[in-house]
């Protein structure tokens, strides 16, 4: 059992195609890096500045600190709102009525009827 590995033939790739591939891949990775840096550093900076302007505009003093609500408090508030909104529905009787429908002929059911007849 002599296995032969597939040999890669790089002679079919010309210089311009290789340059296009390298430049294209580098552009994609550079764009991903810029998007990461924007969301990691620039966006929080803008949000902090906008929040400080809003606090100064409203006349409140925050002593330079922005208070954040912990995640468990946010989860408790969200659960309370969810439970409150679900209680606003009317009480239902929980009775299901099933009406018997006569079997009308249709092309979909004709095959079914013929399969049940065992001859």
Residue 24 lies in a domain: yes
What is the overall mean pLDDT for the chain? Answer: 79
pTM as predicted: 0.42
Residue 36 lies in a domain: yes
pLDDT at residue 108 in the model = 65
Residue 44 lies in a domain: yes
pLDDT at residue 51 in the model = 87
- Domain residues for the domain of 19 are 14-63
pLDDT at residue 5 in the model = 64
**CA distance readout (Å), 16 to 12, 29, 30, 84, 113:** 12, 20, 21, 65, 68
pLDDT at residue 55 in the model = 82
Residue 91 lies in a domain: no
Q: Which residue has the tokens 């408090």?
A: 73
pLDDT at residue 64 in the model = 55
Residue 108 lies in a domain: no
Q: Which stretches of the chain score pLDDT less than 70?
A: 1-6, 60-66, 88-94, 96, 98, 100-119
Number of structural domains, the chain?
Answer: 1
pLDDT at residue 69 in the model = 83
């Amino acid at each position: 059992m002599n296995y032969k590995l597939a040999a890669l033939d790089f002679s079919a790739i010309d210089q311009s195609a290789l340059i296009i591939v390298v430049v294209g891949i580098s552009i994609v990775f550079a764009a991903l890096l810029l998007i990461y840096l924007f969301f990691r550093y620039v966006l929080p900076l803008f949000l902090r500045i906008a929040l400080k302007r809003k606090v100064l505009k409203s006349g409140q003093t925050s002593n330079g600190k922005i208070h954040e609500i912990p995640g468990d408090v946010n989860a408790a508030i969200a659960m309370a709102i969810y439970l409150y909104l679900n209680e606003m529905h009317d009480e239902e009787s929980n009775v299901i009525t099933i009406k018997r429908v006569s079997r009308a002929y249709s092309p979909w059911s004709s095959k079914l009827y013929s399969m049940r007849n065992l001859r």
